[in-house]
Amino acid sequence: MSGNEHAVRPSVPVAPREREKRRSPWWEVWRRLRRNKAAVAGMTVVLLLMMLALFAPVLAPYDPNQTNITKRLQGPSAGHLLGTDNFGRDMLSRIIYGSRISLYVGFVAVGIGAIFGGILGAIGGFYGGRLDNFIMRCMDVLLAIPQIILAIAIVGALGTNLLNLMIAVGISQLPRYARVVRASTLTVRGQEYVEAARAVGASDLRIILENILPNCMAPIIVQSTLGVAQAILSAASLSFLGLGIQPPTAEWGSMLSSGRQFLRNAPYLTFFPGLAISIVVLALNMFGDGLRDSLDPKLRQ
């Protein structure tokens, strides 16, 4: 046996374009996303806020509900970096703990809207006809009512607590997800893989769950990212009006509401919670816009 037969065959170099074809589509999304500096900055801020909310008991210097009347309405200082409120509670600790409530309400409310709205949109788009017309007319009725007015009506009917607040904000976001998923379903329901699933005897439920919805994930992810910002704003607005999270629980909207009566003497009571809301909403919108551009098929090369 000759020595050439045992020689190691040289590896064939893979062309750059061939390597690009082998990469995952989600890797390409990440590659385009990280080129967008505004989106990366927004994503970084959102991740930092999530870490802040997760480790609030460790990072907060004081108990957010601990009162000290002798230190009420003290401005920012070394002992209290963001000052104290009218009950002597540390504002920095309350803002840190308030991030937990705001992000929790935002993500859960968006989850409610995306799940139920997505199901309704997928059913309407898949079956079409009268069922689709009925679902979309119901969504049009909800769209005709401003989100905050609809949320106020739902909270007023159900009562003011955290669960009802999330339900109200989630229901107010149903139409946007139903319409997005319906549009995507109308696009993919006639594709070959859906017809192949029908041909092998797959049930309608299985086709919707395994073939339709996975191909609608890109617009749902983008809409959900932008929807969290809207949900946080809606929750803060309801709490500001006294229809959301009730004192003494630390929540940015209720902190704004309680601080407005001290606007002349202690403007920081409204400035810092308002700044926190502005930062998280801006960061989520920047990240959502960048994610939408990254998932746009027209930008793929």
Residue with tokens 């997800």: 177
**Per-residue pLDDT at 161 exceeds 70:** yes
Task: Report the alpha-carbon distance of residue 295 to residue 33 in Å, rounded.
Answer: 9
Burial 183-208 (b: 16+ CB within 10 A, else e): ebbeebbeeeebeebeeeeeeeeebb
Residue 212 predicted with pLDDT over 90: no
DSSP 299: G
Tens digit of pLDDT for each residue in 166-192?
A: 888 899 889 989 998 898 888 888 778
The count of residues in the chain is 301
- Judge whether 162 and 105 are in contact, CB under 8 Å: yes
Token couple for 247: 């004192």
pLDDT of 202 over the 70 cut: yes
Average pLDDT over residues 191-220: 81
Q: How confident is the model at residue 298 (pLDDT cuts 50, 70, 90)?
A: low
pLDDT, tens digit, 9 for 90 and up, residues 53-93: 899 899 999 998 888 888 888 888 888 889 898 888 999 99
DSSP state of 209: I
**What is residue 145's predicted lDDT score, i.e. its pLDDT?**
86
pLDDT-based confidence at residue 24 (cuts at 50, 70, 90): low
Mean local confidence (pLDDT), 217-223: 83
Q: What is the pLDDT of residues 242-258, one digit of tens each?
A: 888 887 888 898 888 88
Give the model's pLDDT for residue 279: 93
Instruction: Quick: pLDDT tens for 254-264.
Output: 888 888 888 88
The pLDDT, as a whole number, for residue 193 is 79
- pLDDT at residue 301, as a whole number: 45
pLDDT surpassing 70 at residue 143 = yes
pTM of this structure: 0.81
